[in-house]
């Protein structure tokens, strides 16, 4: 049995307001015991918040507005609440210290059993003692299927030995795991088969017809472009020409049988994608203040800036003041408001040395797609301060205390990623952002994020290496010309990826001489669509969108 200890006494000894990015929201909370000695309820009394993140100080967290929690051990815990408004323009946090002085050990026990109904079907039940009703149940039948019923029935489709286990939780959050062995000898095989056909309606619209065989089936569609469907015969509109793999999964919830069928479709009739190119330059005004000049090309664009210290802006040519010296990665996302798939982004690293150091620490990061590893995500941790400790909340219930963790999500999301830093001397700072900020992270299944430090070189050094960069024509039919005006001889890696980060062409990976270097690339073997041109040196990495329209 797993023992879970319950809180008997909490004494409030103080609170600490961590900080806010906007006076329009304010974090605060109260707490009280609701079922002594088992359950304590925390109630948010915040104003202006839309999303909530609780850290109970013992490694457990919650995203509920008013959660309940119990502690495993006696001790002094800091309970922290971070609130975020709907536009992520206002973030505020507050912590209160609580002391757990006594604990009572749970005594929940029980056993699990099963009855063989024939043909691989079993009914499961449990006997529970020394617990407090009502109970919650989670059965794992050992073949990948689960149930939250108290006495469920389940049909096995493959003969074999299975270990069926029940996790039961009582009203005081006491928990126990009860298992029983099942030897299946008369399982009935699955008799369902997934299949579908499709019809091209033009302009990227495709209608799908479910031709699967079986009864009582549920359907789940993956259209290959990041969209999903759950009706029997759905339609999907693709925004970009290209080849897509469509998968249909069907399953019978009564028998547990499932099957998946995939087929590729070719999209050729979408409206040609737009041309957006993000670019900016900057001026150091001294004292940590920078002016940013937007050099992006496109019509009627929206702009969103990430300054690397947690600050953002949607101005065309913003001005930003850094409060702490450090190395920051600045990101500009330019997007077409009429087409959510039409965007471009530009990154540059700056080294701030003249800041007034008005605060001791500042949390901040930016997020963008990893062009070198298909489907993955890069996070640049630009947080500043001395002797920092880190707490990452990945938004799916998992956390890390590393400065630069690597973490794999099992589902597409989206997720709210939060970072809290602490310098141990009274400065605590929190910053949160969506894992698909700016719409630049495209993912169709689980993916990995890799947190990195900012590059030591800045935009000034990047400009010194490549003084001018041109790629034409764009849109391109077959042959693309790339001109790089180099101020020094250096290694330059030039390659092309699709929008998911898969490398589709290697153009150059050798030293280029000082002066104008002209590279040629023939794109005749690729289908129409949107691609990314990557220019990498030892000082910089630049990404530009290419449109192939033959």
CA-closest candidate to residue 303, choices 267, 276, 272: 276
pLDDT over 70 (residue 251): yes
pLDDT band, very low/low/confident/very high, at 374 (cuts 50, 70, 90): low
Q: What pLDDT does residue 458 have? A: 38
Which fold is adopted by the domain 280-452?
Immunoglobulin-like (2.60.40)
User: Where in the sequence of the chain do the CATH 2.60.40.1930 domains occur?
Assistant: 464-548
Least confident residue range of 33-37, 364-368, 443-447: 33-37
Residue 462: its H or E element: helix 459-465
Tell me the C-alpha distance between 228 and 215, whole Å. Answer: 22
Tell me the C-alpha distance between 127 and 272, whole Å. Answer: 64
pLDDT band, very low/low/confident/very high, at 319 (cuts 50, 70, 90): very high
Q: What pLDDT digit, counting tens, does each position of 144-154 carry? A: 888 889 999 98
CA-closest candidate to residue 294, choices 322, 332, 320, 330: 332
pLDDT over 60 (residue 460): no
Superfamily of domain 196-267: Immunoglobulins (2.60.40.10)
User: Within 10 A of 455 (CB to CB), how many other CB atoms are there?
Assistant: 19
Of 434 and 278, the one with more pLDDT? 278
CA-closest candidate to residue 494, choices 470, 475, 460, 530: 470
Paired residues of 437 in beta bridges: none
Q: Which CATH class is domain 5-105?
A: mainly beta
Strands, sheet with 136-140, edge to edge from the N-terminal-most edge strand: 146-147, 136-140, 160-169, 175-184
Tell me the C-alpha distance between 533 and 481, whole Å. Answer: 12
pLDDT band, very low/low/confident/very high, at 240 (cuts 50, 70, 90): confident
Tell me the C-alpha distance between 258 and 261, whole Å. Answer: 11
Rg, C-alpha atoms of the chain: 28
Q: What is the mean pLDDT of residues 265-288?
A: 80
pLDDT over 70 (residue 127): yes
Paired residues of 98 in beta bridges: 12, 77
pLDDT over 80 (residue 7): no
Tell me the C-alpha distance between 180 and 163, whole Å. Answer: 6
pLDDT over 50 (residue 459): no
Mean pLDDT of the chain: 80
User: Where in the sequence of the chain do the CATH 2.60.40.10 domains occur?
Assistant: 5-105, 109-184, 196-267, 280-452
Kindly state the percentage of the chain with pLDDT values over 90.
14
Between the alpha carbon of residue 102 and those of residues 11, 79, 99, the distances in Å are 11, 18, 9
Q: What pLDDT digit, counting tens, does each position of 354-372 carry? A: 887 767 888 888 887 766 6
CATH: 2.60.40.10, 3.40.50.1000, 2.30.40.10, 3.50.30.50. Which one for 109-184? 2.60.40.10
Which residues touch 462 (CB under 8 Å, ≥6 apart)?
Answer: 348, 349, 537, 539, 540, 542
| pTM score, whole prediction | 0.37
Q: What pLDDT digit, counting tens, does each position of 56-70 carry? A: 887 788 888 888 887
pLDDT over 70 (residue 1): no
CB 484 within 8 A of CB 466: yes
Tell me the C-alpha distance between 7 and 38, whole Å. Answer: 6
CA end-to-end span of the chain, whole Å? 66
Tell me the C-alpha distance between 417 and 36, whole Å. Answer: 34
Q: What pLDDT does residue 461 have? A: 39
Tell me the C-alpha distance between 549 and 528, whole Å. Answer: 5
Q: Which CATH class is domain 464-548?
A: mainly beta
Q: What pLDDT digit, counting tens, does each position of 382-421 carry? A: 888 888 899 998 888 889 999 889 898 887 777 888 888 9
């Amino acid at each position: 049995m797993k023992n879970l200890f319950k809180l008997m006494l909490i004494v409030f000894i103080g609170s600490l307001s961590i900080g806010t990015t906007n006076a329009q929201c304010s974090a605060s909370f109260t707490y009280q015991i609701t079922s002594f000695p088992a359950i304590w309820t925390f109630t948010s009394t915040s104003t202006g918040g839309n999303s909530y993140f609780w850290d109970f100080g013992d490694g457990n967290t919650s995203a509920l507005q008013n959660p309940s929690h119990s502690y495993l051990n006696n001790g002094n815990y800091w309970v922290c609440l971070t609130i975020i408004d709907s536009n992520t323009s206002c973030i505020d946090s507050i912590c209160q210290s609580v002391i757990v002085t006594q604990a009572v050990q749970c005594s929940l026990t029980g056993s699990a059993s099963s009855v063989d109904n024939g043909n691989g079907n079993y009914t499961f039940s449990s006997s529970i003692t020394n617990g407090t009703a009502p109970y919650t149940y989670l059965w794992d039948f050992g073949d990948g299927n689960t149930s939250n019923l108290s006495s469920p029935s389940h049909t096995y489709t493959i003969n074999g030995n299975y270990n069926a286990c029940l996790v039961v939780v009582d009203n005081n959050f006491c928990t126990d795991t009860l298992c029983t062995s099942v030897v299946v000898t008369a399982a009935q095989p699955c008799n369902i088969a997934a299949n579908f056909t499709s019809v091209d309606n033009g302009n990227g619209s495709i209608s799908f017809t479910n031709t699967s065989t079986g009864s009582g089936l549920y359907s789940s569609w993956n259209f290959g472009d990041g969209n999903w469907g759950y009706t029997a015969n759905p339609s999907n509109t693709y925004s970009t020409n290209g080849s897509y793999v469509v998968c249909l999964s069907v399953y019978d919830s009564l028998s547990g049988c499932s099957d998946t069928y995939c087929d590729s479709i070719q999209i050729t009739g979408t409206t040609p994608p737009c041309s957006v190119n993000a670019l900016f330059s900057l001026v150091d005004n001294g004292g940590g203040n920078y002016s940013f000049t937007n050099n992006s090309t496109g019509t009627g664009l929206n702009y969103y800036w990430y300054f690397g210290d947690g600050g953002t802006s949607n101005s065309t040519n913003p001005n930003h003041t850094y409060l702490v010296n450090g190395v920051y990665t600045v990101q500009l996302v330019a997007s077409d408001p009429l087409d959510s798939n039409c965007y471009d982004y530009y990154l540059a690293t700056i080294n701030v040395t003249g800041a007034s150091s008005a605060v001791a620490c500042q949390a901040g990061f930016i997020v963008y797609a990893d062009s070198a590893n298909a489907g993955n995500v890069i996070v640049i941790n630009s947080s500043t301060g001395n002797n920092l400790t880190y707490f990452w909340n990945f938004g799916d219930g998992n956390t890390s205390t590393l400065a630069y963790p690597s973490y794999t999500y099992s589902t597409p999301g989206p997720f709210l990623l939060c970072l809290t830093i602490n310098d141990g001397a009274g400065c605590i700072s929190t910053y949160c952002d969506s894992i698909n900020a700016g719409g630049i992270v495209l993912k169709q299944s689980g993916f990995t994020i890799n947190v990195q430090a900012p590059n030591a070189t800045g935009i000034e050094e990047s400009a010194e290496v490549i003084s001018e960069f041109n790629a034409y024509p764009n849109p391109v039919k077959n042959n693309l010309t790339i001109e790089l005006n180099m101020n020094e001889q250096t290694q330059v890696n030039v390659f092309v990826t699709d929008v998911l980060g898969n490398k589709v062409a290697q153009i150059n990976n050798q030293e280029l001489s000082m002066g104008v270097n002209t590279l040629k690339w023939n794109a005749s073997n690729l289908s129409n669509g949107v691609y990314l041109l990557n220019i990498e040196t030892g000082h910089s990495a630049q990404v530009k969108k290419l449109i192939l329209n033959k």
